[in-house]
A and B are shown apart, each in its own frame.
Chain A
């Protein structure tokens, strides 16, 4: 049940309690908060508890972009509080629904405000636009007792106090000095007085005011606490800790069906970042955007009905927008041209929530990022994450020429790690890749994204030079293989106890859909990995470019959009 107390806004900290990279512990109505400011200035007020094992996040680490739990290093994103990384499972992308409890937050009058169920804005205060924040005074007493005492607060004989409807107390003197006192109920019997003076004081005037009110409020505190100790205090509040979502009890979370487009965004910026490459910034129309991890992509639903996948280039904690890069490809089926020519700043587009089928491990001693052309976009997100965490990496960007370098501003952050390889022929590229990949080793990983032939060359070079398949991670833009959709076969769905027939010209995905079976998908070309499904029995004719050769040989999973059965029958884990 929501009470008025939960609907109110209360100040829980002074803005000055949140210096750079600090985490402040606050409390309201018995509930603890971890309060922290990200480097972009955003203030986060979260439940002071990691969702994993309940450890206080106020003892965690604020790296300026994310808050990292001390116990198992789980990372939570600025703004959304979504978990972006679980170090115990470095190869998995965490379910994006693992999200800490956040509370409404505003910063005004030099104070940080929250309320469990607060809506609207903090109360507007006339005459306090330039306020001086007094030292907060904690007391062991109820808010009623504190309010009563504050009404009688005096710094000179002309002072007159009254209680406001919102529970605060105003005291003014005949010289025009006015103080508004807010009473923060940390618990049923404990409060904090947070006062602001109606002028921006500086120098000696500020020093004198702070000193004087600290002294007078301390005296008030002593009196109120003496009176409180004679009374029986109410029982402490028992804040209810919300249960985690049911689907999180068994990780991974159940994925939703289809190429969903559940978000609406506006095109906030659109500018050329290199020859033929457009940088597009999306912002949410209402509410926040879901948490993403480096390597994630979104589906963009275009006005002409096409759906295209684009990798996010955002760095950690950059959660108020998504930025993608789009290369104009006149030979494509019209997606990139539509974005370049038809999409205008201010347009509203439908996009999917981010999906991560290209997760970045952060347990490597060294990471090699290789980008070819527009394949640079997921690499930027990865490099930014590695850079913020101070992990060792190198970044090789193969590009036609200087004018083709996209996102040069973002890339300038990696000045020690970036190497440009410009205008190389296929032979020269192969030779360079040979040098870049000359040192395989324990806990060294390679990530590559770029045109198909370059990916093939990278994978082959890596294999020839002794890199394990599991250490070479890749993402193709598209599947350039000819897909064979001939022949019919049966699929048994082990968990649904259904047998279906896939006919000549149909895909497994289509047959599942036609029979009402939920299966998420994105590119539907065998490149993105979204429609992956476990195989229990039967031989798979792999036609995708998502699985590694090792994974294909293991025959344990299938991309249902393009791959088929070699045998008469497949048993799928669905």
Chain B
């Protein structure tokens, strides 16, 4: 499947975590099914090529970004990444054999916490997803607010179960973030953003940036926690059939708890994003 979605081709995508490249080496990957070569020279300069021809390329947040077309907008600005009292780290790049759109939807979902992240992000019998608010902003972002869930171990610094508040935010089709209660602060939240690299229509690499308030936390425990959580999601994601996200409202059965996913699928449909999706009939 060839990508013909302008909104995706003319946008920036992560193709490598700089920390995973060693100087003087090449890294081969794919973006929208096209072979991309990323190289880091001895002086630390990065180049991206496709079929031997250079691509436009940038370094930001510790990631290598490229664009296959003409960038129609800048790389996402994340203010949290510039706050001094936060760790800004990558939790690792995870290859997942499914559409990146399925990964976004899983990230927006609280209902699976007690079943997939048992003992960490949720625990039976506390399974209720209470009503929450969803809106499409003037900037064409999806925001879900007032999302509360009871969690046994909400973060690496949490002690005992707490009711956690989430805010979810979908910036772009393959870029999604969440803000989450920090157990030590009433007014500040930890932040996780996923920059999902669409390797193919049914293949992706999930890059992520964690912006966590340092208080009581270590970088290692933060990475460990993210990897634990993600390792729990991966086998579920790889057992979703079909792998591409169906945009037909009657392909799957949504419930009230899926309000944000319903809007996400409609939003993709309205923007004519078809890569990694099954278009509605």
Residues of A whose CB lies within 8 Å of any CB of B are: 32, 48-49, 51-56, 59, 69-73, 86-91, 98, 241, 243-246, 248-249, 251, 362-365, 391, 443
**With an 8 A cutoff between CB atoms, is B20 at the interface?**
no
Contacts of B128 in A (CB 8 A): 87-91, 363
Nearest 3 A/B pairs, CB to CB: A87-B127, A88-B111, A88-B257
Q: Which of B61-69, B189-197, B241-249 contacts A (4 or more CB under 8 A)?
A: B241-249
Q: Is the CB of A244 within 8 A of B240?
A: no
Interface on chain A toward B: helix, strand, loop, or mixed SS? loop
**With an 8 A cutoff between CB atoms, is B160 at the interface?**
no
Q: Is the CB of B124 within 8 A of A249?
A: no
**With an 8 A cutoff between CB atoms, is B129 at the interface?**
yes
Q: Is the CB of B112 within 8 A of A48?
A: no
Q: Is the CB of B257 within 8 A of A73?
A: no
Known: A55-B239, A243-B248. A90 touches B127 (CB 8 A): yes
A179 to B195, alpha carbons, bound, how many Å?
58
Contacts of B256 in A (CB 8 A): 88-89, 251
Identify which of residues 230-264 in chain B touch chain A, using a CB-to-CB cut-off of 8 Å: 235-236, 239-242, 246, 248-257
How many residue-residue contacts, CB under 8 A, span A and B?
Answer: 102
Known: A53-B240, A59-B239, A73-B115. A364 touches B125 (CB 8 A): yes
Residues of B whose CB lies within 8 Å of any CB of A are: 105, 110-112, 114-116, 124-129, 235-236, 239-242, 246, 248-257
Contacts of B115 in A (CB 8 A): 69-73, 87
Q: Is the CB of B241 within 8 A of A48?
A: yes
Q: Which of A91, A241, A365 contacts B125 (CB 8 A)?
A: A365
Contacts of A70 in B (CB 8 A): 115-116, 236, 239
Contacts of B124 in A (CB 8 A): 73, 87, 363
A sample of 17 inter-chain contacts (CB < 8 A) reads A52-B252, A53-B240, A54-B240, A55-B241, A56-B241, A70-B236, A71-B236, A87-B111, A87-B127, A89-B255, A89-B256, A89-B257, A244-B250, A245-B250, A251-B254, A362-B125, A365-B125
List 13 additional contacts besides A51-B253, A87-B124; criterion CB under 8 Å.
Answer: A59-B235, A87-B111, A87-B125, A88-B127, A88-B129, A90-B127, A243-B248, A243-B251, A245-B250, A249-B253, A251-B253, A363-B127, A443-B126
A445 to chain B, nearest CB (A): 10
A364 to B112, alpha carbons, bound, how many Å?
17
Contacts of B105 in A (CB 8 A): 53
Q: Is the CB of B242 within 8 A of A248?
A: no
A390 to chain B, nearest CB (A): 10
Q: Is the CB of B255 within 8 A of A86?
A: yes
Contacts of B253 in A (CB 8 A): 51-52, 98, 244, 248-249, 251
Most central of A89, A90, A91 by chain B CB within 10 Å: A89
Contacts of A249 in B (CB 8 A): 249-250, 253-254
Known: A32-B241, A73-B115, A243-B248. A251 touches B255 (CB 8 A): yes
Most central of B110, B242, B246, B251 by chain A CB within 10 Å: B251
Contacts of A69 in B (CB 8 A): 115
